[in-house]
Amino acid sequence: MIGSGSHVVVIGGTKGLGYEVAKACVARGARVTITGRDKVSVQARAEELGPLAAGAVCELTDWSSIKQLFAEMDRVDHLVLTALDRDFNTIADFRPDDCARTTLMKTVGYATAVHEALPKFTDDASVVMFSGLSMWRPVPGSTTISMANAGIIGLVNSLAVEVPPVRVNAITPGIVTGTAAVDDADEVRTEWFEAMRQRTPAKRLPSAEDIVESTLFLLECRGINGANLVVDAGMHLA
């Protein structure tokens, strides 16, 4: 359970949904480590979260950085992987180097993080990796992210049978309101988001709070392993 005495690591926890998850864990009394690429911003965000939070620099395409992150920890009860580069890439104007960097981070980087955390996991430890609905419903420019998100599901399936008793699950958010990706989108993507909202059964999109609650559920529920929880307000049914 997430509470006093437990340690939650959120890779990519300095902004967006990762930061919201970290904040919720601190509110429950857990000790939380958030990571980002920039030392100054990581420390500033950790200070915002209060005395239960610590910040650390971690680059998911730098294997030594990941190794150092976990080497300095005593235990890991829960690991949340949210880090993401939003590579807006299309096949028509494809940029292979940008695609390779983002895909490497979200597949090999995620796997390496679990590998380095293994010696520190407790018997009741759990991992949640963030995928995304773009693997099934691509948006304009989502070529890279669609591929990377699909790869997360394969990774979760493999790890669930490789690292017991640690549980490994994925969460697949849909279009999430109250996030920069939606609120700061250009006109084309904004129109697409609205069209998707209209296609959901209840004519609503999930909120950041919905994603946080779902992530905590996956972290804590011992009966769930190797699962992909889709939180999209039913968009995949339309």
Q: In this prediction, what percent of the chain has a pLDDT beyond 70? A: 97
Q: What is the pLDDT of residue 85?
A: 79
State yes or no: pLDDT of 107 exceeds 90.
yes
Q: Identify whether the C-beta of residue 130 lies closer than 8 Å to the C-beta of residue 171.
A: yes
- Whole-angstrom distance, CA of residue 134 vs CA of residue 140: 10
Length of the chain: 238
Residue with tokens 């609503």: 204
- Whole-angstrom distance, CA of residue 210 vs CA of residue 215: 9
Q: What is the pLDDT of residue 183?
A: 66
Q: What is the pLDDT of residue 110?
A: 97
- What the block records as the tokens of 179 is 């996030």
124: Cα within 13 Å, side-chain hemisphere: 10
Q: What is the pLDDT of residue 175?
A: 80
Q: What is the pLDDT of residue 238?
A: 72
- Whole-angstrom distance, CA of residue 163 vs CA of residue 161: 6
Q: What is the pLDDT of residue 179?
A: 72
Q: pLDDT grade, residue 117 (50/70/90)?
A: very high
Q: What is the pLDDT of residue 184?
A: 66
Mean pLDDT lowest for which of 21-35, 42-56, 65-79, 123-137? Answer: 123-137
Q: What is the pLDDT of residue 235?
A: 81
Q: Identify whether the C-beta of residue 33 lies closer than 8 Å to the C-beta of residue 7.
A: yes
Q: pLDDT grade, residue 216 (50/70/90)?
A: very high
What are the boundaries of each domain within the chain? Answer: 7-176+207-231
Straight-line distance from the first to the last Cα atom of the chain, in angstroms, rounded to the nearest whole number: 35
pLDDT digits (tens, 9 = 90+) for 145-157: 899 999 999 999 9
pLDDT digits (tens, 9 = 90+) for 46-98: 999 999 999 999 999 999 999 999 999 999 999 999 988 778 888 999 999 99
Fold classified for 7-176+207-231: Rossmann fold (3.40.50)
Q: What is the pLDDT of residue 180?
A: 66
State yes or no: pLDDT of 163 exceeds 90.
yes
Output the average pLDDT for the chain: 92
**Whole-prediction pTM:** 0.92
Q: pLDDT grade, residue 236 (50/70/90)?
A: confident
Distances in Å between the Cα of 202 and the Cα atoms of 107, 178, 198, 199, 224 are 33, 18, 8, 8, 27
Q: Average pLDDT, stretch 6-24? A: 96
